[in-house]
């Protein structure tokens, strides 16, 4: 039987880890919905509960995690609404307990923003404009750079070798070869000057909406990428709806940061990369018992057939005219 690293992260060890950072727990513990890492709300004697995030062993180096923290803390220092890790009296934001790196965060309430509310999109655009204005001011030295090779080429190879059912392999192999050609052609337009420090995983699940403010959480996937990587996931629906949503986002964004409309050509390429990378992420994590329990629909014949259909639709989307700024 395979033993997974998180098997050793028992409730007692979670509490011991938090107390090793200088807090006294009241032993109340609530596991939060998180799969890539393990995240808990931990009760603290005489104080508000804290959020403890235990990083997946082997995914990030210590230098990469610290660079994520520095970016979050710089944003917080600039009074941009992100939930950054707490820093102890010795200036440390990252702690270690046994084999685990972990960080502590203040608990924040909120709910996902409603994207059909154009006023919300305007606020999101303003906040992202401020994030990117600071993101442009420096570069990452250790965090990853968004790439076609990692998110499509390597993902494709992994899935073909170990996961795609035999009867679907010819269709998947041919289709993803066409997607790789199309995405590579589009993404070849992206220059180093087009890429900045971004949140990297900007969807409504990583935003806490409270008091008409968007509080961004979970910079675990922050990376170097085009600015539009943090914008396109807020666009959904029919073309005219996405066009209107884009207009509101960019109106708010442009108050704080210039947006290059060339980047609109890259949206469908970025969407393709997310689709292929998401399937490969689930595949890579399938030995973690939390994943089969929570993603019961993955790795079935039906899932792969629907995934191929979704990729066919994406290949067609890559041929369409990009959105434009009104």
> Per-residue DSSP letters for 256-269?
TS---GGGGGGHHH
pLDDT band at residue 1 under the 50/70/90 scheme? very low
pLDDT exceeds 60 at position 273? yes
**Is residue 27 situated within a structural domain?**
yes
Stated length of the chain: 326
- The tens digit of pLDDT for each residue in 283-294 reads 999 999 999 999
pLDDT at 47: 96
Give the pairing type, strands 95-97 and 100-106: antiparallel
66 and 202 part of one domain: no
- The tens digit of pLDDT for each residue in 162-180 reads 999 999 999 999 999 999 9
Nearest to 112 by CA among 202, 238, 40: 202
pLDDT at 326: 80
- The tens digit of pLDDT for each residue in 46-85 reads 999 999 999 999 999 999 999 999 999 999 999 999 999 9
* Number of domains making up the chain: 2
Q: Which sign does the torsion angle of CA 314, 316, 319, 323 carry?
A: negative
pLDDT at 236: 93
275 in Cβ contact with 314 (< 8 Å): yes
Among candidate residues 106, 127, 154, the one where a domain is terminated: 106
Give the pairing type, strands 207-210 and 100-106: unpaired
**Is residue 5 situated within a structural domain?**
no
The residues that bridge with 196 in the sheet, in sequence order, are 225
- Which domain CATH number covers 220? 1.10.510.10
pLDDT at 135: 98
pLDDT band at residue 3 under the 50/70/90 scheme? low
165-171 long-range contacts, CB within 8 A, separation 24+? 165/301, 165/304, 168/301, 168/304, 168/305, 168/308, 171/308
| pLDDT mean over 126-130 | 98
Give the pairing type, strands 25-31 and 38-44: antiparallel
**Is residue 4 situated within a structural domain?**
no
- The tens digit of pLDDT for each residue in 189-232 reads 999 999 999 999 999 999 999 999 999 999 999 999 999 999 99
pLDDT exceeds 90 at position 108? yes
Tokens 């996902």 belong to which residue? Answer: 112
Share of the chain above pLDDT 70, in %: 99
**Is residue 137 situated within a structural domain?**
yes
Among candidate residues 106, 138, 165, the one where a domain is terminated: 106
Rounded Cα distance between 79 and 40, Å, is 26
Work out the number of other CB atoms within 10 angstroms of the CB of residue 181: 11
| pLDDT mean over 84-98 | 97
pLDDT band at residue 124 under the 50/70/90 scheme? very high
| pLDDT mean over 129-133 | 98
| pLDDT mean over 240-266 | 97
> Residue 182: which domain range?
118-317
Helix or strand or coil: residue 223?
strand
324 in Cβ contact with 263 (< 8 Å): no
What is the token pair recorded at 152? 């499509």
**Is residue 248 situated within a structural domain?**
yes
207 and 272 part of one domain: yes
Ramachandran sector of residue 261 (left: φ over 0; alpha: ψ -120 to 50; beta: rest): alpha
Dmax over Cα atoms in the chain, in whole Å? 61
Rounded Cα distance between 100 and 107, Å, is 21
Rounded Cα distance between 146 and 184, Å, is 13
Q: Catalytic positions, please?
A: 201, 218
């Amino acid at each position: 039987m395979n033993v997974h690293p998180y098997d050793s992260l028992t409730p007692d060890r979670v509490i011991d880890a938090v107390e090793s950072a200088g807090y006294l727990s009241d032993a109340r513990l609530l596991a939060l919905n998180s799969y890539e890492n393990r995240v808990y709300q931990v009760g603290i004697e005489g104080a508000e509960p804290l959020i403890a995030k235990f990083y997946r062993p082997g995914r990030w180096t210590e230098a990469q995690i610290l660079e994520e923290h520095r970016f979050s803390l710089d944003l917080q220092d600039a009074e941009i609404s992100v939930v950054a890790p707490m820093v102890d009296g010795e200036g440390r934001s990252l702690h270690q307990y046994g084999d685990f790196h972990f960080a502590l965060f203040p608990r924040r309430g909120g709910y996902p923003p409603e994207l059909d509310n154009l006023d919300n999109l305007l606020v999101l655009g303003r906040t992202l404009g401020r994030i990117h204005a600071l993101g442009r001011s420096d570069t990452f030295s250790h965090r990853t750079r968004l790439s076609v090779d990692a998110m499509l080429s390597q993902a494709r190879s992994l899935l073909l070798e170990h996961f795609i059912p035999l009867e679907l392999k010819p269709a998947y192999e041919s289709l993803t070869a066409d997607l790789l050609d199309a995405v590579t052609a589009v993404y070849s337009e992206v220059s180093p000057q087009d890429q900045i420090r971004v949140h990297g995983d900007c969807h409504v699940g990583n935003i806490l909406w409270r008091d008409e403010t968007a509080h961004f959480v979970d910079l675990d996937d922050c990376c170097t990428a085009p600015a539009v990587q943090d914008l396109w996931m807020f666009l959904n629906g029919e073309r005219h709806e996405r066009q209107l949503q884009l207009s509101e986002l960019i109106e708010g964004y442009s108050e704080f940061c210039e947006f290059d409309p060339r980047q609109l050509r890259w949206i469908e390429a970025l969407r393709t990369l997310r689709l292929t990378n998401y399937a490969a992420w689930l595949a890579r994590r399938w030995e973690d018992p939390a994943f089969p329990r929570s993603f019961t629909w993955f790795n079935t014949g039906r899932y792969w057939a629907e995934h191929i259909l979704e990729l066919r639709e994406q290949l067609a989307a890559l041929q369409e005219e990009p959105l434009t700024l009104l």
